Chains A and B, each alone.
Chain A
Amino acid sequence: MAETPINERTASDRNGAGEPMPTSAVEAWFVREVLPLEASLMRFLQSACRNAQEAADLRQDVYASVIAAARKSVPERAKPFVFATARNLLIDRVRHERVISIDTVSDLDELGLAADEPGQDRVLIARDELRRLRAAIDALPPKCREAIVLRRIEGLSGREIAERMGIDESTVSHHINNGVRMLAEKLYAEEPRRGNKS
């Protein structure tokens, strides 16, 4: 899929007719537009949920729902769409008395959408990204870090990592499994730095 300019506003002009988006295009959009919103999305969800785990659970549902929608047509602006989806899911959960109180939902407008500024969040600065990646990797438990570093930085295969660390392959797999989940948690928890207006 071709790179799209940072401030591109319409990802899906050709999609009015209901022709499904190719999966690769949806993934690229999801990674580029939706994931950078995770820090603010989590703040929004956590303010409404009882604990971080519930918020994380809800986040997955938000993503699933956003992806389902994007398969039909990629929303023009990601942020309002993601937050509207989050809000609807929260209300849905309230109806099922699962997570939160009605009081909480009444605050949603103030919480979520007031700060909406399209087009800025996703601009990353390379050196900032580098520091962030290092910090996230440094924060991993030693074995996880070792496995991830050997894989991603040293480029060793799973079997080679097992040899190098003197552990079996299933343990390597386990370390990568834990490592990647912690890495994601850490990387997305930080607000992407806002770039200069250009």
Chain B
Amino acid sequence: MSDAGTNEQIEKLAADWLARRQFESWNEDEQKKLEAWLSESDNHTAAYWRLKAAFDRTDRLAALRHPMMRPVSSSAPSRKPWTMLYAAVAAFALIAIGGGIAGYQLLTPDGRTFATPVGGHMTVKLADGSVIELNTDSVLHTDFTPEKRAVQLLKGEAYFQIEHNAQRPFSVTVGDHRIVDLGTKFFVRKSAQQLDVALVEGKARLESTDSASNTRPTVLMPGDFAVATATSIGVSRKPVHELTDDLAWRNGMLVFHNARLVDAAAEFNRYGDTKLVVSDSAAKLTINGAFPTNGAGDFAGVTHEIFGLHVDRKGNDIVLSR
């Protein structure tokens, strides 16, 4: 038997082997080394088997992502109307990022357009070091000159990590509003009626581009959550962890805190072709938890477990009712 303390080290080594197996570089040679290490001692074997079994158990979460539906198309994004729109204008290139669903980049004479399909997620690294992440079903246009970095969010949601450069300001225009970076991380979401801007770090200015508007520019600080409509800008504060949860989509997750079912369903519906429909009787039930963005079916299963809701598939819809 080993000395006290050594088992802790063995466990770390076992976890190392397990971690290493998750990389592409894992090969037969590595596998042989692992087997040799395991055969050195039953303490090695015990530690490794124990951790591996725990790790393997998480498989069930992945397996339950689509418990009652066929998987939503996972890689090749289907052609959406907007691809038709742009296809004639410019050649488009599929950007494969992270092996998952990515998005399209279109080169147009006045800049570049990036777009993601429903369920897509794309990271754009800009030459100045700034990073933009596009969420599902989003379109973003960049127009960079030596004097300015102008970005337009035409649709959807994006997260910005901006390298500040006072000589070359970075601005995001969404409809009638513009966010001017003062060195920051923030995210912007455009919906039919309103614009949401949340500041994670740094400072930014939110202003109206409509000269007729009488809303005054607002400086946003970390934790500020601004909602802008055609006629007003309102700012509230959110705890940072809630803002972080709002950004869980960057990791392919949705996080809900006391969310009404009808709102949670609307979130899922942004990400997939399968639509969750919540009956009025169930709409106001509230739910907590974290789910993969493509886990609408899993989510439906959970509402069945927790609230005993009926789950009915109708074509592309999953209807939840009491």
Contacts and interface: CB of A to CB of B under 8 A. Distances in A.
A60 B46 contact: yes
B252 interface: yes
A64 B41 contact: yes
Contact of A176 (B8, B22, B244, B290): B22
B61 A184 contact: no
Interface string B43-62: 10111011101110111111
Nearest to A126: B60
Interface stretch (A7-15, A113-121, A155-163): A155-163
Contact of B19 (A129, A166, A176): A176
Interface residues on A, range: 35 or more
Given A57-B4, A142-B244, 6 more contacts: A63-B43, A133-B61, A148-B58, A164-B98, A176-B19, A177-B19
B64 interface: yes
Interface in A47-78: 53-54, 56-57, 60-61, 63-68
A51 to B, nearest CB: 11
Interface in B282-309: 289-290, 292, 305
B100 A154 contact: yes
The 3 residue pairs across chains A and B that have the minimum distance between CB atoms:
A158-B23, A63-B46, A184-B54
A174 B49 CA distance: 19
B58 A64 contact: no
A54 B4 CA distance: 7
A58 B92 CA distance: 60
A127 B305 contact: yes
B158 to A, nearest CB: 16
Contacts of A60: 2, 7, 10-11, 43, 46-47
A57 B97 contact: no
B49 A30 contact: yes
A176 B252 contact: no
Contacts of B251: 146, 149-150, 154, 164
A98 B97 CA distance: 54
A109 interface: no
14 contacts: A31-B49, A64-B1, A64-B42, A65-B1, A67-B45, A134-B290, A148-B58, A153-B62, A160-B100, A163-B98, A180-B51, A180-B55, A181-B11, A184-B50
A168 to B, nearest CB: 12
Nearest to B22: A158
B28 interface: no
B61 A64 contact: no
A127 B47 CA distance: 27
Contacts of B18: 176-177, 180
Contact of B61 (A53, A63, A152, A180): A152
B45 A64 contact: yes
B253 interface: yes
Given A98-B4, A138-B290, A181-B11, A152 B46 contact: no
Nearest to A30: B49
Contact of A169 (B12, B23, B43, B289): B23
Nearest to A159: B24
B55 A61 contact: no
Contacts of B146: none
A2 interface: no
B45 A177 contact: no
Contacts of A126: 60
